[in-house]
Each structure stands twice: as structure tokens, then as C-alpha cells.
Structure 1
């Protein structure tokens, strides 16, 4: 992977492997994930309860570890998008993106003139507090920021090809649980309706040479979706990895201790 560059990552079809952070925004989290081999981190504001003060600190942790960060904001509201950009998010993920008009609003909110209409804030977190010419700042910020649109509704699937065609969209990201609910088959990820929707999204990204991502709960599923065309593969999340590893170890330890007691 290219060091610290989501835009370059999105331009290749090689596997980019990351992790979902919804709970542990600790100072060491960036270095822990980097040491574990992650290419990127997905930092969640939609379901985590994290606020923008936490985002501002967490972005510095990821920068220190040279680990590219995608921030999922809770809505398509301008203030959520622009504030994440100002805090230094390299990647931006939006939930429930359904049509090209919504995509254009997002791009307007995250990009500077002449690409978008983002309010100007320079020599702050996103440009490392460094001075410089305004035009150069605009060019650098627009080039750096990387857009991940979540396909989580039937409308999003229907418009996937039109959205993938838009300059400024770097990746379509399937939100599999919400998509299954929208399609009327909650949690049925082997259902023909769900599989057909996935194939539609895959075809859209292939046609327009855009990246494709998804969260997976297991290594096996990660490999399976990579073989189908997903190149951003986000393996589980901090809560579930800790819970499952600890539960497994405690269960084995308890069983072994009980066995020794019986002997």
C-alpha cells in the first residue's frame, strides 16, 4: 500500500485491509492498528457516540502512526461533513447515500473552490497548521480528500451506476445490514434479492473503475468478497475483536481450570 494515501489506495484494485473503530479512541490506537498490519482505519461517528472533539484527537493518533483514516459521519448535513474535513479526515464516509443529487451535495460540502463550496478554514488541523498560499491549499485539500458513499438502500442500488460515474466519488461501500433491511430480507445475506443487489453495485464500480468496500466479520468472508471484486475489506471492529478473543480465552481457561480441579 502507498504510505498514508487513501486516494492512491482507491485507485488500485489490490486488497486494502482495515479495521472499524467504534469504542476505543485511545492515544495508542493508531500505532496498535498499524503494528497489526492495517492499511486504513474506519472511524465511526454514526453509531459510536464519538463527538468532534474526539475526532480531532483521534486524527492526530492516526497521523502519528501514518495510518489513513476514513471518518463515517452521522448524516449528510453540511456541518457534519465540513467539520470532519476540518478535523483532518483524509477519507469521508456517508451513510444511506441514495442518488446523484445527494452525492453532489456531499462533494460540495467536502471540497473547496472550484470543485465544491466548503467553507474556508486554513492553517488548522486538516493542513497540519501550516501556512501557505490559498490556491495551493485548495488544490492539496481537494486532491487529498477521498469519498466513500455507502450503499444501504434499494434506492442506492438502483442509482449505483449513476453515482459511481460522478467525479469525486472514489469508492462505493456496501452497508450490508441496512441494505438487507431496505430490500425486505433483513440479515439474509444469501437471499437472491440481496445477491442481485450486490452484483449491481459490483458492476457499477467495475464500469467506472471505482473502489468497492465492505465490513466483514470473518477472514473467510473477507477473502470471499475480495474474490467478487471488493478491494477495501474492513475486518470487524474493536468491540467485537476484543470481546471474541477474550470470551474464547476465558472459556478455555475456565474449562482447563475446572478440569484440574476435578483431577
Structure 2
């Protein structure tokens, strides 16, 4: 039973344009972002305190609207990973992954047995309350769930090839802001050292058949450069920045 199909599209060489949610607290944001053409939305619970009820409403609205909901968690603890996936997420994003062992623990927490230890809840909200057997639900979710690890330190870049080789990992997401800071160049998104690191991550993904992703960039030139390097999971920014930019542009246009 197909739920979204984003993971399959990525496996076939497609791309994903992703939006991160920090301010939103209702399901309408999922409907708006789906209508705008985004492929996935990420509920950021690393940098914000999105409550459980709000997160559940947004994820269910996303599933109904055809946009894949993922949850970004504060760390790699297996309990919250399983909880997010049981609550309706079609994937997780995990920060500060620096080696293959850490990536392997994340993959096991997000995958069903025998590959992993993802829990089996009494009911899966992903199927919009349609009756489905547990076996069919597990098969469908195994095919749809995305595991994204965030590369944001020098050590993680050095270990990118080993991380990309870990079974069960789908996307290596380069966090340009945190990585630039770890490289001693905070906020310097033009710096050649940052883009050398990005190229290394993209190569590691290509060699392992994984998807390279990037976020923390905002300039059109940076998006173009990332696409030239082969990045296919592109974070367009977070809802607060998008709202502020659109609001400022509208006022500027009216006053002109």
C-alpha cells in the first residue's frame, strides 16, 4: 500500500525540495506546503519545542495532503526515534552523526526487525484509519521510511564514506551552518573549505548509492552550486524565514 512514494522517487534518481517547520503548530501548514509543491516537511524538535498534539496534527495533515512528514530530533536516542515513527512520521533526521557506528544505531532504531528494533504500535496513523494488517503495515512502512543523518562536523565529513555505506541510511544531510562553525568559519557559506566538504559528502553518497542532502544555505547561487555537486535533498529553509521574506517582499512591492 503506497503512502507517499518519496523514498522510491529518490531511489530512482529524483530530488526532494524540503521545508522545515519551526513556528507552525496546525495542520494547515502541511496543506499549504503541499500545495506550494514541497516534497517533504520536517518538524524541527531539535531547535524548538513543538508539542506532541501539534506534531501529530501536522503529520496527519501532511499524510493526507501528499507531502512526506519527517521529524528532526535532538539526538540519536532510540526511544524518541521509534515514538516519532509510530506517531505518523515517514522518516527521521538525526543530528551530530560522526561515524558509522552512530549511523548504524540510528538505522537500527528506525528499522523493523530483523534489521532493527523499531517498535510495533497497536495502530499506525500513516494509513488514515483504513484497516490494514500489521504485516502489510510493516511492509509498506519499511518501503517508505527515510532515515536522514546530519553531517555537521569535520569528523563527520572525514567519515562520510563509512557513514554512507551503513545499511538503512538513506540520506546524508550536510548542515552548512553548523559545519561552517565547526570548520572555524561560522556563517561563511562562500568559503571553499565548506564546499570542498560538500563535494566530499556528495561523492561518498554517489559511491554508496545514497542521497546527498544540504541545508543552511539561502542564496540562489548556493542552491545552484549544490545541485551541480549532485545534492538531491534540498532544504529550502524554515517557515519563519520564508514567511518573513514573503512578508517583506510584499510590503516593499506595495510601497514601491
**TM-score between both structures, scaled by the size of structure 2:** 0.90
Query: The residue matched to 2:42 in structure 1 has which SS?
Result: strand
Distance change (3 Å), C-alpha of 1:220 and 1:42: farther
Distance change (3 Å), C-alpha of 1:127 and 1:110: farther
Residue by residue, what CA displacement relative to the aligned partner does 1:168-214 show, whole Å, maximum 9, x if unpaired? 11111001111111122212223233222112111101101111111
Q: Which residue of 1 aligns with 2:123?
A: 123
Q: Which residue of 1 aligns with 2:227?
A: 226
Segment drifting more, 224-233 vs 9-18 = 9-18
Distance change (3 Å), C-alpha of 1:60 and 1:137: closer
Q: If you compute each CA radius of gyration, which structure gives the higher value, 1 or 2?
A: 1
Gaps of 5+ in 1: 257-263
Segment drifting more, 117-126 vs 103-112 = 117-126
Q: Per-residue deviation at 1:22?
A: 1.2
In 2, Cα distance between equivalents of 1:193 and 1:221: 14
Distance change (3 Å), C-alpha of 1:66 and 1:212: same
Q: Which residue of 1 aligns with 2:70?
A: 70
Query: The residue matched to 1:116 in structure 2 has which SS?
Result: coil
Distance change (3 Å), C-alpha of 1:191 and 1:217: closer
8 A contact 1:74–1:80 mirrored in 2: no
Q: Per-residue deviation at 1:87?
A: 0.8
Q: Per-residue deviation at 1:131?
A: 5.0
Distance change (3 Å), C-alpha of 1:3 and 1:235: farther
Gaps of 5+ in 2: none
Distance change (3 Å), C-alpha of 1:41 and 1:122: same
Distance change (3 Å), C-alpha of 1:16 and 1:127: same
In 1, Cα distance between equivalents of 2:69 and 2:4: 9
Q: Per-residue deviation at 1:125?
A: 2.2
In 2, Cα distance between equivalents of 1:136 and 1:64: 19
Does 2:96 correspond to 1:100?
A: no
Q: Per-residue deviation at 1:102?
A: 0.9
Q: Give runs of ≥4 in structure 1 deviating > 6 Å.
A: none
Q: Which residue of 2 aligns with 1:187?
A: 187
